[in-house]
Amino acid sequence: MAKERKIGAYICRGCGIGQALDADRLEEVAAREGRANLVRQHDFLCAPEGVETIRADLASGEVSDVVVCACSGRAMTSTFRFDGVAVARANLREGVVWSRARKGESSALADAGSSDSSERGEIPAKTGETTGEAEVSSSERETMQEMADDHIRMACTEIRFMTPPSPSLEQTLNRTILVVGGGISGMTAALESARAGYSVTIVEKSATLGGFAARLWKRIPDRSPCEAPVDPGIATLVSEVSVHERITVETSSKISRTSGSPGKFKVTIERCDPASGDDGSTGSRTETFGAIIQATGFTPFDPSHIPELGYAASGDVVTSSELEALALAAKGEALVRPSDAKPIKSVLFVQCAGQRSSKPGHLSYCSGYCCAASIKQAMYFQDADPSIETVVLYSDMRTPGSGGEDFYRSGQSRGIVFTKGETSAISAAGEGGGARVRYRDLILDEEVERDFDLVVLATGMVANAGVDSEANDTKTDEPDTNASAPAAIEIPVESILNLTYRQGPDLPHLAHGFADSHFICFPYETRRTGIYAAGPVRRPMDIAQAREDATGSAMKAIQAIENAGRGRAAHPRSGDLSFPKVRYDGCTQCKRCTVECPFGAIDEDEKRYPLFNESRCRRCGTCMGACPVRVISFENYSIDTVGQQIKSVEIPDETENKPRILVLACENDAWPALDMAARLRRSWSVFARVIPIRCLGSVNTIWVTDALNAGYDGVMLMGCKSGENYQCHFVKGSEMAQYRMTKIDDTLEQLGLEKERVITHEVAITDIERAPRLINEMERTIARIGPSPLKF
């Protein structure tokens, strides 16, 4: 606050605010308590004339910072954005006027909200200005006015601790993309990026491009009519990639080091000749890339350690990927039995082999592609000779994708027999070769034992996601499935990216060894900004899905590059220029920020201070919430911008029976839910004071203790769902908050307060009815336990 600041507060009377509230009193609050240098009222602030008033004041130098006292900060964002000017919003419309329960609501108010006119900025009809108002009692009017007064105080306080964020000038624009993995996902991502004008380097571990799909004879069709297996199309893709002028291919190579951040990833690519020994390094070079796409695919599950699958017992039991190899070698000729080269008359496909089971050594998940793959392989036999008996033994037929069901039908009409059953044992059949299968027919409810010439195990996908950097922390609450299944899960132990990040060398895993990719809300986002996972490395999928995935990740990589070049945050605060600033002289090197950052954006410098990497940062503020000495802040979001707002609220005397409930609502889900609830005229407690926050993870416990010390009767935290099926936009933010809040009980005890006074809720954006209800419940809780003893 070095330069002189002139705060201008603009109070809008549109959308029913003027009818419901005393604008003159608001003006007085803004001027006296909010210490605004200039206060103006306007009937319709978002109209061109209203905005022009603000612009004129800014241009004349009368005002340097703007407080808009009108609608929610989520509405009219572009209208009230002024370049280089800090803007605070007092939420009078959704936060106060629209969220009040009133009997005999005035028709003018109802109209203003139910039609879209308010959003479009039309002046609502004023005809009913006085009707209905009489039915609002003066005390109700007063509590509502108090609520509005507090919103003005909060916004005027916030602005004084804010500065407009500006680019740090640390940015680099680097329009090159590194694609790790030269399979179908990697090649698709490379081609899509190159077609968009970005230079691409593909690093492939093996000697040729193509990946798993290159070892297929045919693939599952994904275009209508989806009746027969089609050519994998790898040759075409490889040639397209090879001739593209903006694509460089590095085969027999791997990545030995990755440092930096989006826009300036420094990557060491090591060429290795497998012929020349163990490591076989034959030189390396370092290049700079703007973004990275990790398309490292999967390894087929190895069933040899599951005795009941009989994989080791009989040569005529093969996995589906081995059958592909046989089919590829046969080139359409009739397949023969692997053990004795005799013709095959009967084949059994065992679905979910070593999958979808909680037994030790099995994969617990469905790999999604195996049902259609088995149908495809059964067609190999049926098409060669319709008299071959092909049986698919399934427990649930799952053929995702638009053509999946057609393909299943096509298989049935060709005479493939589908039997619902569960395999119990597979063994060698004896003298004549083949395999003996025992299974339970689940429809006929009986045990069956039969010999087949060939048994194909439809095994699943194990992700090549590298090292799980979080394997040893915070997962203790999970049942220990991994420990009992060591051989199955631990196939890729070598790091893929070799990141020099403090938080580990690879993308963190979510579950079952797949890379965490925010699979519920934003599938391509990972927890390492600028590095995007595509294909089966992030979840099991088939070729059609992998190609779509690769295209999406190319788009995200391009966004990351362009954002990084402008110093702007990537998803979800796209375009945000604010960036954590640290007061290093206060830092105690506790390292909580470096550990808790969901995106691994913070490393350590040589003096062991946190080292922030701007373009890796997603601006969630989790570091700020974590910091026990509160030295981390953003220009427009800090301990003070929220903390001082909390303190600016007027706390009535306990005899007045007007409790105060602080609601810290996540701006991504809980706050929009409340806004929408207000638009639907759902009401919540008039005693609540809602402050939007970037993420629950940014909540520093000082806010909670300050609020309680100031005499608030209760504190509510509303954030997104955490845990394995998280919906937090910043992945770990709400989880961190939950964890921190488990420790708040001690603080409450020290203060001599009841535990019920602080509560954390998981609120989804769809909880439009629930979110206001939760606030009302809190009001009842406070009524039950009585006012806070800390009021004075």
Partner 1 sequence: MSENNNEMIERYRGNFLREVEDNVEEGEWVKMCMQCGVCSGSCPLGPHWDFGPQTLFMMIRAGKRDEVLAAEGPWMCTSCYNCIVRCPRELPITHIMHGLAHYAVRMGLAPKNQPTRKFSDLFWKNLKADGRVNELRLGISLYFMHGFVDGIKTALKKAPLGLGMVRTKRMNPMEFFGGHKVRDRKGFHRMLEKAEEIESARIEKGPRPGAE
DSSP annotation string for 563-604: HHHTT---TTSTT-----EE-GGG-----HHHHH-TT--EEE
CB of 111 or CB of 406, closer to partner 1? 406
Instruction: Report which residue type is found at 449.
Output: E
As measured in angstroms, the least distance from the Cβ of 748 to partner 1 is 55
Neighbour-count burial for 753-777, b at 16+ CB within 10 Å, e otherwise: bbeebbbbbbbebebbebbbebbbe
As measured in angstroms, the least distance from the Cβ of 414 to partner 1 is 9
CB of 21 or CB of 352, closer to partner 1? 352
Instruction: Report which residue type is found at 191.
Output: L
- With beta carbons less than 8 A apart as the criterion, state whether 660 and 649 touch: yes
CB of 336 or CB of 397, closer to partner 1? 397
- From 277, 280, 213, select the one nearest 252 (Cα to Cα): 280
Strands 389-394 and 346-350: parallel
**Around Cβ 305, how many Cβ atoms within 10 Å?**
15
Q: What is the dihedral of CA 693, 156, 658, 107, to 10 degrees?
A: -90
Helix (H, G, I), strand (E, B) or coil at 445: coil
- With beta carbons less than 8 A apart as the criterion, state whether 407 and 226 touch: yes
Output the CA–CA distances (angstroms, integers) from residue 782 to 150, 567, 656, 768, in the order listed.
20, 45, 14, 22
DSSP annotation string for 457-505: E---EEE-----TTTTSS-TTS--HHHH-HHHH-S--S-SS-B--TT-S
CB of 76 or CB of 416, closer to partner 1? 416
CB of 409 or CB of 475, closer to partner 1? 409
CB of 420 or CB of 658, closer to partner 1? 420
Instruction: Report which residue type is found at 160.
Output: R
CB of 21 or CB of 348, closer to partner 1? 348
CB of 140 or CB of 389, closer to partner 1? 389
As measured in angstroms, the least distance from the Cβ of 259 to partner 1 is 53
Alpha carbons 306 and 288: distance in angstroms, whole number: 45
Alpha carbons 191 and 554: distance in angstroms, whole number: 9
- From 628, 636, 697, select the one nearest 666 (Cα to Cα): 697
- The token duo for 327 is 């089919």
- From 158, 30, 142, select the one nearest 96 (Cα to Cα): 142
Alpha carbons 155 and 693: distance in angstroms, whole number: 14
Alpha carbons 331 and 327: distance in angstroms, whole number: 6
As measured in angstroms, the least distance from the Cβ of 448 to partner 1 is 8
As measured in angstroms, the least distance from the Cβ of 383 to partner 1 is 15
CB of 235 or CB of 417, closer to partner 1? 417
As measured in angstroms, the least distance from the Cβ of 375 to partner 1 is 12
As measured in angstroms, the least distance from the Cβ of 461 to partner 1 is 25
- With beta carbons less than 8 A apart as the criterion, state whether 787 and 659 touch: yes
The residues that bridge with 532 in the sheet, in sequence order, are 293
- The token duo for 592 is 């909580």
As measured in angstroms, the least distance from the Cβ of 382 to partner 1 is 12
Angle between helices 138-160 and 23-32 (to 10 degrees): 40
Helix (H, G, I), strand (E, B) or coil at 202: strand
CB of 215 or CB of 409, closer to partner 1? 409
CB of 349 or CB of 501, closer to partner 1? 349
- With beta carbons less than 8 A apart as the criterion, state whether 671 and 692 touch: yes
As measured in angstroms, the least distance from the Cβ of 405 to partner 1 is 9
Alpha carbons 472 and 62: distance in angstroms, whole number: 57
CB of 207 or CB of 417, closer to partner 1? 417
User: Residue 581: which residues within 8 A CB-CB, separation 6 or more?
Assistant: 632, 633, 634, 635
As measured in angstroms, the least distance from the Cβ of 386 to partner 1 is 9
As measured in angstroms, the least distance from the Cβ of 419 to partner 1 is 7
Contact set with partner 1 (CB under 8 A): 397, 408-409, 412-413, 415, 417-420, 441, 443-444, 448
- From 580, 623, 610, select the one nearest 732 (Cα to Cα): 623
**Around Cβ 152, how many Cβ atoms within 10 Å?**
28
Backbone φ and ψ for 179, nearest 5 degrees, come out as -110, 120
As measured in angstroms, the least distance from the Cβ of 314 to partner 1 is 23
What is the number of residues in the chain? 792
CB of 245 or CB of 445, closer to partner 1? 445
- From 91, 158, 146, select the one nearest 690 (Cα to Cα): 91
As measured in angstroms, the least distance from the Cβ of 340 to partner 1 is 24
As measured in angstroms, the least distance from the Cβ of 430 to partner 1 is 20
As measured in angstroms, the least distance from the Cβ of 133 to partner 1 is 58
- With beta carbons less than 8 A apart as the criterion, state whether 237 and 184 touch: yes
Strand order in the sheet with 389-394: 317-319, 454-457, 346-350, 389-394, 417-428, 435-441, 446-452
As measured in angstroms, the least distance from the Cβ of 227 to partner 1 is 14
Write the DSSP symbol of residue 663: E
E-only strand ranges, 486-570: 531-533
CB of 393 or CB of 561, closer to partner 1? 393
As measured in angstroms, the least distance from the Cβ of 107 to partner 1 is 50
CB of 412 or CB of 657, closer to partner 1? 412
As measured in angstroms, the least distance from the Cβ of 443 to partner 1 is 4
